[in-house]
Amino acid sequence: MKKISDSAVRRLALYQRFLQEAADAGLDTISSGDLAERGGTTSAQVRKDLSLFGSFGKRGLGYEVQELLREIREILGVDRTWKVALVGAGKIGSALFSYRDFQKRGFRISAAFDSDPAKVGSDMGGVTVRADEEMDRRLRDEGIEMVIVAVPAEAAQAVVDRVVNAGVRAILNFAPVRLRVPRGVALRNVDLTLELEGLSFALTGR
Amino acid sequence: MKKISDSAVRRLALYQRFLQEAADAGLDTISSGDLAERGGTTSAQVRKDLSLFGSFGKRGLGYEVQELLREIREILGVDRTWKVALVGAGKIGSALFSYRDFQKRGFRISAAFDSDPAKVGSDMGGVTVRADEEMDRRLRDEGIEMVIVAVPAEAAQAVVDRVVNAGVRAILNFAPVRLRVPRGVALRNVDLTLELEGLSFALTGR
DNA sequence: TATATCTTGTGAAATCATTCACAAGCTCGC
DNA sequence: GCGAGCTTGTGAATGATTTCACAAGATATA
């Protein structure tokens, strides 16, 4: 399979969202132009993105909403539930834990870990925060597939090494550090300060 | 001034972080290769990025850490403090509010707003949550320059319209929607579900 | 069936971003 | 002061992504 760019995947996930909206609004078909407008891109871009995976439309008509939605969900792998664990039950961590959209989109956070004894044992919406030491074993035992890392920057690399070692192949990192992961492990960073600095540049570099 | 790509700005912000580390470690000079290694890029990329703004190094030697740090901070506009407001004091919002790195990097959240009467009036680390209705006036009066939007998706566009109308030119959006802003307003999205879906794709599209 | 009108799918062209490769500048040791 | 050894800054080459542009398929209407 050819290489799919990161931005193409992002757009695909966006189209999925728009298709969901269109489906909720009861639309039967949608054109690449419609999708483009909502996503702030062009119709050619939409068609090119989709063409990476097949041809799903009907010339002259557009795309059948339900069908394209199904296809994209399958492509993205979101036609199923993923088992996610949270490492770091601080402010950000617990906010993420109760983020409704994750659940709604099929990402179920079924385990949480923290090294702070004060937090261990506490209940977060049905999930008990476990001690750091139990992490490696539980990740395996519970068949966790993705991990959200919300620990301080200094602790992040060590956590990631252990998590990868426990067989996890996808990591969403909130710590403001560049993490090293072996080839074959997917890593995404959410770097909040970096985003604000980007805005700062936009306001400055007039 | 030529157009600077988004990814170049991101990398610049990263270099800044590494330079800070190098400075803390007491290093005097650093080479493009050093910076590249820490940032997971190449030395040519580093030099190209920097060359967009001038030439800061000494051939044969590398870059003077303090000097380059100063330059990059100036380029990014982080050699000052920014006045930031938070709209939406829910779980994510309050987690962001107490995110220490923002403060440390010069982003001072000096106002917070929410439409929930139960939250209005409550104190968040010295800042009182104000009613939604007071937002427009206070944004202006307090000279807010950036706004972090952490409201539900349905409410986000309306908030953004008002915020832009109040003169704010930079927005960091956490709501999972594509927002429309007029030209000249900088917008960054942190779309958490999108990130997990990206990971899902990586695990699926084997 | 023929015509007018849409909209897709996709090579080709254009644009944008990264990597290469090397001349030129700087330092150090002798 | 000269040669050896680094490392920058940058055109040129390559690679990736986006946009263009249009043939071809589909529908609707008469």
Span B130-169, pLDDT tens digits: 999 999 999 999 999 999 999 999 999 999 999 999 999 9
The bases of strand C with some atom under 7 A from any protein CB are 5-11, 16-21, 24-27
Are A175 and A116 contained in the same domain? yes
Does A88 lie in the same domain as A71?
no
The B residues from 154 to 183 touching A (CB cutoff 8 Å) are: 169-172, 176, 178
Q: What mean pLDDT, rounded, does chain B reach?
A: 96
For residue B151 the two structure tokens come to: 């409201």
Instruction: Record the tokens describing residue B168, joined without a space.
Output: 């704010």
Tokens 């080839």 correspond to A183
Q: Distance (Å, rounded) from C-alpha B37 to C-alpha B19?
A: 13
Asked if residue A184 and residue A89 are part of one domain, the reply reads yes
Residue B149: which region, alpha, beta or left (left: phi > 0; alpha: psi -120 to 50)? beta
> Is residue B10's pLDDT more than 90?
yes
Does A62 score more than 90 pLDDT?
A: yes
Residues B113 and B14 grouped into a single domain: no
Would residue A35 count as lying in a domain? yes
Domain count of the fold of chain A: 2
Percent pLDDT > 70 in chain A is 99
Q: What is the mean pLDDT of residues B83-96?
A: 97
Q: At what angle do helices B6-24 and B65-76 cross, to 10 degrees?
A: 140
Q: Is position B142 within any domain?
A: yes
pLDDT grade, residue A206 (50/70/90)?
Answer: low
Whether A122 and A35 share a structural domain: no
Domain-located, residue A61: yes
Name the β-bridge partners of B170: B146, B186
What is the spatial distance between Cα A143 and Cα A199, in angstroms, rounded to a whole number?
Answer: 39
CA A134 – CA A113 distance, rounded (Å):
8
The overall average pLDDT reported for chain A is: 96
B79 CB within 8 Å of a chain A CB: no
Mean pLDDT value of segment B173-200: 97
Predicted confidence at residue B202, as pLDDT, reads 97
Residue A199 domain flag = no
Selected residue with higher pLDDT from A110 and A206: A110
Please tell me what DSSP assigns to residue B134: G
| Burial (CB count <10 Å: 0-12, 13-18, 19+), residue A65 | buried
Mean pLDDT of B67-77: 97
Residue A16 predicted with pLDDT over 80: yes
Distance CA(B148)–CA(B135), nearest Å, equals 13
Instruction: Specify whether the CB–CB gap between B113 and B132 falls below 8 A.
Output: yes
Residue A1 has pLDDT above 80, yes or no: no
Beta strands A82-87 and A107-114 are parallel
Q: Tell me the CA distances in angstroms from B127 to A14, B82, B97, one per residue in order.
A: 35, 16, 10
The reply to whether B41 has its C-beta less than 7 Å from any atom of strand D is no
Q: Above pLDDT 90, what percent of chain B?
A: 96
Cβ neighbour number for residue B184 with a 10 Å cutoff: 9
Domain boundary among B34, B59, B76: B76
Tell me if chain A has a CB within 8 Å of the CB of B82. Answer: yes
Do both B97 and B188 map to the same domain?
A: yes
Compute the count of residue pairs across chains A and B with CB atoms less than 8 Å apart. 168
pLDDT digits (tens, 9 = 90+) for A37-57: 999 999 999 999 999 999 999
Q: Is A12 helix (H, G, I), strand (E, B) or coil?
A: helix
Q: How confident is the model at residue B3 (pLDDT cuts 50, 70, 90)?
A: confident
Q: Residues at the strand C interface (CB under 7 A)? A: A 31-33, 43-44, 47-48, 50-51, 55-63; B 3, 5-8, 41-42, 44-45, 47-48, 58-61
User: What CATH number did the domain enclosing A93 receive?
Assistant: 3.40.50.720
Question: Per the structure block, which two tokens stand in for A41?
Answer: 């891109």
Q: What is the pTM of this model?
A: 0.95
Q: Which of A31, A48, A75 is the last residue of a domain?
A: A75
Q: Which pLDDT score is estimated for B206?
A: 58
- pLDDT tens profile A69-97: 999 999 999 999 999 999 999 999 999 99
Distances (CA, A) of A157 to A84, A150, A187, B192: 19, 11, 12, 21
**Overall average pLDDT of the A172-194 stretch:** 97
- What's the rounded Cα separation, in Å, for the pair A193 and A189? 12
With cut-offs at 50, 70 and 90, classify the pLDDT of residue B2: confident
Which A residues 12-51 have CB within 7 Å of strand D? 41-42, 44-45, 47-48
Neighbouring C-beta atoms of residue A116, cutoff 10 Å: 13
Clarify whether residues A95 and A182 are in a common domain. yes
Cβ neighbours around B14 below 10 Å, total:
23
Regarding whether A171 and A103 lie in a shared domain, the answer is: yes
Residue B1 lies in a domain: no
Pairing type for strands B62-64 and B29-30 reads antiparallel
Question: What tokens were used for A204?
Answer: 């400055």
**Which pLDDT value is given to residue B1?**
64
Instruction: Assess whether B42 and B88 both reside in one domain.
Output: no
Please say if the pLDDT value at position A61 is more than 80: yes
**Residue A30: which CATH number?**
1.10.10.10
**Do A108 and A185 lie in a common domain?**
yes
Q: In what order do the strands lie in the sheet with B29-30?
A: B29-30, B62-64, B57-58
Q: Are A196 and B146 within 8 A, CB to CB?
A: yes
Closest protein CA to C1' of nucleotide C17, residue? B5
Q: Which of A12, A92, A198 sits opposite B95 (nearest CB)?
A: A92
pLDDT tier at B125, thresholds 50, 70, 90: confident
Q: What is the mean pLDDT of residues B74-98?
A: 97
Q: Integer distance in angstroms from CA B98 to C1' D28?
A: 60
Looking at residue B205, what is its pLDDT?
74
Token code pair at residue B108:
């001072």
List all residues of chain B from 48 to 67 with a beta carbon under 8 Å from chain A. Answer: none
Domain region containing B100: 82-194
Query: In A, which residues are within 8 Å of B102 by CB distance?
Result: 192-193, 196
At which residue do the structure tokens 């067989």 appear? A167
Which of A39, A60, A75 is the endpoint of a domain?
A75
Q: Are A120 and A114 in contact (CB under 8 A)?
A: yes
